[in-house]
Amino acid sequence: MIKRDDYLMIIEEIRNTDKKSIDEFIEKIIEPLILENENFIEILYKDIYYLIKDIDKKGENDLLIKNGSLVIENGGIKLTGYQSRLHNLSIWLHMEISKKFMEKNPLTFIESMQNFENNFLKKPNYTPEYKAKLDKIKSSLKKERKLNLGEKENFWNKIFDIDNLELKPNIAGIGVNFNEIINKFRK
């Protein structure tokens, strides 16, 4: 039986896998875990959904259409915007969940998918410790996205970032971390 923190290790491993070998990763690591753990796909999909849901801007990761046709790249449908390996894996996980509901009962497929989405996927019932670990990965994904798309942070966002505050043993208990501000401007 897989432990909850093992999902984080799998997510990190996926992030560090080359895009070309994600199919191999699915075949060698994910599929054997599916056989051992009944709800593995659903839980992994929920974690990945949480990680990537607020990263994209509006209109990103939609199907890319040129001249009225879907664009296909590297044997798959191309999406707009930046896609991490987690985006690619989430598409595969979504298809697997859809297949599972379709095989169970094709007549209730839509209700099953809506129920799954509303009552499981969109309800983050994580422990505070696990959520903090997911938020750390999410922050890393946002930085990765900015670097890969060449987006720059504006001056005021660097100054007013919450990371610039730190706990101090003074009356208010909060102080400004000037080293953090300086490090942001060095990047």
127-168 tens-digit pLDDT:
889 999 998 888 888 887 777 665 555 655 655 665 555 555
Q: Give the CA angle between residues 21, 26, 27 to the nearest 5°.
A: 95
Q: Give the CA angle between residues 136, 133, 27 to the nearest 5°.
A: 100
**Token reading at 155:** 């001056």
Residue 156's pLDDT is: 58
Residue 5's pLDDT is: 86
Q: What is the model's pTM?
A: 0.71
Reply yes or no on whether the pLDDT at 8 is more than 70: yes
pLDDT, one tens digit per residue, over 60-113 is 666 677 787 777 776 666 666 667 788 888 888 999 999 999 999 989 999 999
Residue 66's pLDDT is: 78
Name which of 125, 111, 100 is nearest 50 in CA terms: 125
Residue 82's pLDDT is: 67
Helix (H, G, I), strand (E, B) or coil at 79: strand
Query: Which of the residue ranges 32-36, 78-82, 175-179 would you say has the lowest mean pLDDT?
Result: 175-179
Other Cβ atoms less than 10 A from the Cβ of 90: the count is 21
Residue 178's pLDDT is: 62
Query: Which of the residue ranges 2-11, 126-135, 137-146, 174-183 would you say has the lowest mean pLDDT?
Result: 174-183
Helix (H, G, I), strand (E, B) or coil at 184: helix
